[in-house]
Amino acid sequence: MSAKCVMVLGTTSGAGKSWLTTALCRYYARQGLKVAPFKAQNMSNNARVVAGRPQFSAGPPLGKLAPSEGSEVREATSVEAMFAGPPLGKLTPSGGSEVREATSVEAMSGGEIGSAQYFQALAARAVPDVRMNPLLLKPEKDTHSQVVLMGQVNAELSRMAWRGRSASVWPVVAQALDELRAENDVVVIEGAGSPAEINLKSCDIVNMRVALHANAACLLVTDIDRGGAFAHLYGTWAMLDEAERGLIKGFVLNKFRGDASLLAPGPQMLQDLTGVPTVATLPMWWQHGLPEEDGVFDMAPTFVASRAFGGTLPLARGEGAELARGGPSRRSTPLVVAIVAYPRISNLDEFQPLKNVPGVRLKWVRSPSELTGLAEADWIILPGSKNTSADLDWLRAQGLDQAIAAHAGRGGAVLGICGGLQMLGEALIDPHGIDGNGPGLGLLPLVTLFAEAKTVQHRQAAFAPVRGLWSSLSGIEVQGYEIHHGQTTHHSAMAAAGNIAYAVMPEGLAWQNAAGNVLGLYLHGLFEDPRVLQALFGATTPTLDSVFEGLADYIAQHFQPDVLQSLIAAR
């Protein structure tokens, strides 16, 4: 098997490459093709835990998942079932070596990839693995990133100068792509930034070097809402080498608002200049339901409660007794969730389900005025951080530490996730120079000690009895993932004095204060679990599978007939 490769390039960052790649993955998968996504290098602090390079042959993408050589199979009824369903059964490594038992997705955990490629894999009905994003750069400072190669942190590459990395990593990138091509019918490849960044061309490992290696049929997408779309398309095309231009099969105008007939004669003039047709004009679609990758999303809910869920609305701080029972209640105002957007925020994509819960309003805050101005704010969430100590310093510089403390002192709900949990404690101790020392916010009597080894794994755990505002989570078993260096435990002196945090998950995964309004946990993905949404809000949200189907329907409707099929035709 040698896959046909389709590649999505963009004139700029934010042009729409990620979501279009996701849509193409589902579009081709719906035709019964075996599909995999690929992005050679992603720069993002939004990452997911996935399988390492598989040692066994994968079965069909959905339906019966049949490992090689006829071993035990199970039925998969949805994309989510591949990760949250029954045991994976007996998996036979390719080559007929010893059969091993895989009892959960945790057994296949191998490392980190960018969240975008994780969702693209699910859209493709494929099991995500590290080859789909062999190089992940996680920015820690403006001039430094942690380098993750094939799912694992690589300290040597992290210390290496940007331009010096390409020679070291290209063989790994090329091998990962070639393996995916050998195992699939179609590989949908996402570029990064713009392929016309001529200052980086000599060390390119993510755009045209990949396109030429894979002989990919390329789409070049631009954000027409920014203005200058035709110039962006022509200028990008013009700065490519002749062989690279030959791979560009179509231009895509994304985020168009207005009467498409007014674009004429622009597309034809552009084709006369380049020989490349404009194959799609995609109308602006504000809320397609796919989690954002590179920036915070707006705070408006996607679904109106009265239409989607019979008018059931979530609960506010003033209705704590109802919230503790997890029962829904009607209210005239939305529940406001304020998420602190510090500079090194990570894994923000896990909050997309909150955006889709009826009656919940998300607000991203960066200053005390934004936070204290929300007199009706019910929750404050401290999300993950790629540099916890630096983001804590930023919080204090903004005065947000005092605003958060005041909110908690009034009995308001505060939730810290991963780095946010670490911030809630008394101190950060860093003997290895991983993150930095510093005092915490002092809302939980805990101490975090940073370790050289990074915890990267899937986890499944149940909440113990939980107090106060979060009590509706009691007993719920949730699935999620951990990505962190620090290990958190009691502050020994405070514990000796009787001031303790209550462990509400095993192995230090979650902690709560005595009053019951402050909760911190290491587990990412809490709001992606429908049981949690039902307990906290009495509501459910659309499944990821329905989002992927909507994306595929959208491009099928707006691309010119037969274009998408022509991209995978024999060349």
Active-site residue numbers? 418, 524
User: Is residue 108 classed as helix, strand or coil in its secondary structure?
Assistant: helix
Q: How far apart are CA 112 and CA 50, in angstroms?
A: 6
Helix or strand holding residue 488 (H, E): strand 477-490
DSSP string, 277-301: -EEEEEEP-S---PPPSSSPPPSS-
219's CB contacts (< 8 A; 6+ apart) are 6, 7, 8, 9, 20, 248, 249, 250, 251, 252, 279, 567
User: Is residue 331 classed as helix, strand or coil in its secondary structure?
Assistant: coil
Helix or strand holding residue 258 (H, E): none
Are the beta carbons of 554 and 546 closer than 8 angstroms?
A: no
At position 74, the amino acid (one-letter code) is R
Question: How long a stretch of residues is the chain?
Answer: 571
Strand partners, 416: 382, 520
493's CB contacts (< 8 A; 6+ apart) are none
List the alpha helices (DSSP H) in 127-164: 155-159
Residue 405, classified by CB atoms within 10 Å of its CB into exposed (0-12), middle (13-18) or buried (19+), is middle
Q: Which candidate, 42, 7, 34, places its Cα nearest to that of 125?
A: 34
311's CB contacts (< 8 A; 6+ apart) are 305, 330
CA 214-218-224 angle, 5° bins: 150
Q: Which candidate, 486, 550, 524, places its Cα nearest to that of 47?
A: 524
Pairs from 155-159 (Cβ < 8 Å, separation ≥ 24): none
Q: How far apart are CA 353 and CA 527, in angstroms?
A: 6
Q: Which candidate, 137, 465, 360, 301, places its Cα nearest to that of 381?
A: 360
Query: What is the biggest distance separating any 2 CA atoms in the chain, rounded to whole angstroms?
Result: 79
